[in-house]
Structure 1
């Protein structure tokens, strides 16, 4: 990535920086400049990073956006191998220390047709879980599907006579000790889904990926997931038996027939 010249920042590390550059300025995508070197822990591959952000119009220096005032950092930044291959700016974060401020150039690619500088201050980091971790729930009703876990945590299932339902069943199997999921959050999960005949139709375990499930009202996931995940905690494993009206309804979806009751086992690995 190329460097952006002529941009500086002042202010106390870990607080909103005062960013200065000569306007009007032109910027290119996938360009950056480290404005302030941090004093915290070193950011490494595999970390999830939370960053406070300011967007500044390069034509006139006006502030377009800031997360500092409401303390709403962007914690969607996962420095995984696949993301580092696809998202060029993430590479600039590896090896930096927390409280570093980095400017990234964004050139006219947004709907407002405004080129801007995005200044990220890297305020915290964490590691996502790789599987559910917590206390085994002991009072799971005997009538529910039976879940067994492989060595790596991948679930398999015995439907145990589970048929169609018209009301959702949400059963915590492992109770995690992490953050509680609210209706404005995104849960980072691994999951497997089956129809009640025991046929698996999807599994992130088989793809070795995670899925970011936005449980907010605008999130593009089925209602049964939103209802089942809100109120759960990071580290938990949840069994969801979802009726058709909270799944795909009277339409087929891929290999899932219309009017299917869906069964999922979901591990909650992180949330933001």
Structure 2
């Protein structure tokens, strides 16, 4: 997983309080205005920008201006992206945080209602390869109390300059495949969230993987960091014990055959060797799961079933 610097670490504030059928692309939730157009940004994409703007900037709503044009559709809810992020106090011009540019690891953020509202609205006007300037009023920022620990006083606006280095889909995009008889049934909601029905039968004795959607992307190798969405249920009672869909964001995990893996062996086995864009279902017996130890709400000696969307390799 990736770490970020002070501002973002302090603020689940700025990354959390900051971090089938084809539907038409959603409209951006912010657009250019006098304040965002007043932000002058220079420097190459991917490198720390030089930023100037008149103070104070006081927009009535969040504004976003694309400085460098990207490609593809604008980001939408549920998408994770890797970004470079520069943050300024829009009232004073003070630099608050610059991270994710140059040799710094980019910062993973997801377009989500749990994200700072102004940042979320700004991301919806960006696309992979975009550099955007976003100006956020108090109402879409830290609210009437501000955030004095970050140098943001009540009434202060925020200015973000964001480079979207990579963008990942919110769900698997591969071609649908049929599964064998006796395998758990999976039905997808319009947003891609899986609904799972485990058969009333004894589980498989070994780890068994079925490709539900076959993706066109690169093959996942042992040791890769992978962006995934998943839902896991226990075979015995079909109860969800963990889901990135419920948490509102994909996650990044390292999958490996042995040491260094951040997931249980059966999960890693299901993902390694698959192509990005695929969705897989995997039945995991206790020996490749949590064994004879309970884990959270998972009883000891549980057989598990996961639906995993493989969205990208970092």
TM-score > 0.5, shorter chain as reference: yes
TM class, shorter-length = 0.5 to 0.7
Q: Is residue 2:239 matched to residue 1:200?
A: yes
Where do residues 236-251 of structure 1 align in structure 2 (5 Å cutoff)?
A: 236-251=278-293
Match of 1:265 among 307, 310, 313: 307
| Gap runs ≥5 in structure 1 | 2-7, 22-35, 55-63, 110-118
Q: 1:95–1:209: structure 2 CA closer, same or farther, 3 Å change rule?
A: closer
Where do residues 59-208 of structure 1 align in structure 2 (5 Å cutoff)?
A: 68=102, 73-74=106-107, 76-84=108-116, 95=125, 98-100=130-132, 122-124=163-165, 126=167, 128-130=169-171, 132-138=172-178, 140-142=179-181, 144-152=182-190, 153=192, 154-159=194-199, 161-163=201-203, 165=205, 167-178=206-217, 180-182=219-221, 183-195=223-235, 197-202=236-241, 204=243, 207=246
Structure 2 counterpart SS, 1:38: strand
Structure 2 counterpart SS, 1:207: helix
The aligned counterpart of 1:38 is: 67
The aligned counterpart of 2:298 is: 256
Please tell me whether the aligned partners of residues 189 and 268 of structure 1 are also in contact (alpha carbons under 8 angstroms): yes
- Using the size of structure 1 for normalisation, the TM-score is 0.60
> What displacement does 1:206 show?
7.7
- Structure whose residues are more often strand by fraction: 1
- Using the size of structure 2 for normalisation, the TM-score is 0.54
Q: 1:40–1:9: structure 2 CA closer, same or farther, 3 Å change rule?
A: closer
- Report the Cα distance in structure 1 between the residues aligned to 2:245 and 2:76, rounded to whole angstroms: 22
> What displacement does 1:164 show?
5.2
Match of 1:221 among 253, 263, 272: 263
Structure 1 counterpart SS, 2:114: helix
Q: 1:68–1:163: structure 2 CA closer, same or farther, 3 Å change rule?
A: same
- Structure whose residues are more often helix by fraction: 2
- Report the Cα distance in structure 2 between the residues aligned to 1:120 and 1:45, rounded to whole angstroms: 18
Structure 2 counterpart SS, 1:199: coil
Q: 1:234–1:261: structure 2 CA closer, same or farther, 3 Å change rule?
A: same
The aligned counterpart of 1:27 is: none
- Report the Cα distance in structure 2 between the residues aligned to 1:198 and 1:137, rounded to whole angstroms: 26
| Corresponding pairs, count | 230
Q: Over the residues paired in the alignment, what is the CA RMSD in angstroms?
A: 4.6
Cα deviation, 1:38-77, whole Å, max 9, x if unaligned, reads 22149666354332479xxxxxxxxx9875359x644x22
Please tell me whether the aligned partners of residues 38 and 96 of structure 1 are also in contact (alpha carbons under 8 angstroms): no
